Amino acid sequence: MMEAPRFSGSIPALVTPFRGGAVDEAALAALIDWQIGEGSSALVPCGTTGEAATLSIAEHDHVVRLTVAAAAGRVPVIAGCGSNDTQAALDHMLAAKEAGASAALVVCPYYNKPSQAGLAAHFELLAERGGLPVILYNIPGRSVVDMATATMAALARHPAIIGVKESTGDLGRISAIRHHCGHDFQILSGNDDMTLGILAQGGVGAISVTANVAPRLCADLAAAAARGDYVHALAVNDRLWPLHSALFSDASPAPVKHALARLGRMAADVRLPLVAASAASRAAVEAAMMHAGLTGGGGA
């Protein structure tokens, strides 16, 4: 059995840049270079923020390959591999493994509304056959199903299932997961506005939307929490909180892409059924960027 990698720190859930309807490969490579230079500790392509639901299978696997190539071993890549079809998720995992990804982020199957037994069977098959360590992604607001802590605890006993991106919005869940799944089970925040609280309760890092726009600040917050400096972490969180909110003021990732366009890093293009962020959302994003002290270079 593979040795379980350890993840920590600020890990951006990367957007997928588009231009003219196609993946903007140059913008993606430049985004990755910037993220690594600003202190991001790993990369997640093809998650929700990467608009994976509107990528073709070929595009999805190509974006993972591009990300691994651009990272060039400097940081690990956790490939988004989720699907509501177990076989499709397995195919993505096998392609990600071949590309050189370090782990797979796999969301609970959406739309089908499987039972807890169905969730367990889905993830057990992927852990057995996918060839990569699996990070569960529990986000009932998008998937409709909520993985019970008891189900997660059973899955955590599988050596290839190494952690969870926790996006239930329930801070009380963190201590329960830590208690039932063990202290080696890696808990990663999936809600930027709750990251500080999750880190304080034993989380090891965050798979972050905000890190797309403010990677240095997000990395600084995670590093401060890791060394127990919660005074500094809270000060950084105060700078980031309006941005956490503004980036979800319209359907994500439209506000995120607007922010990145303002920073000159890519076009703001999204794919239908998403549309450009509303005027009110754009104004909120720009005000939040100013509050955070972000500049055209993306620094703070």
Three-state SS at 25? helix
Which of the following is catalytic: 110, 111, 113, 137? 137
Q: Does residue 137 carry a catalytic annotation?
A: yes
Q: Rounded to whole angstroms, how far apart are CA atoms 104 and 137?
A: 10
Phi, psi for 76 (deg, rounded to 5):
-75, 155
Residue 190, both tokens = 């999936």
Distances (CA, A) of 232 to 39, 135, 192: 17, 29, 17
Please name which of 280, 219, 216 lies closest in space to residue 254, comparing C-alpha atoms. 280
Which of the following is catalytic: 97, 165, 230, 257? 165
Q: What are the start-end ranges of the H helices in 136-205?
A: 140-143, 149-156, 172-181, 195-200
Q: Rounded to whole angstroms, how far apart are CA atoms 58 and 55?
A: 8
Q: Does residue 257 carry a catalytic annotation?
A: no
Please name which of 77, 64, 50, 60 lies closest in space to residue 209, comparing C-alpha atoms. 50
> What are the catalytic residues?
137, 165
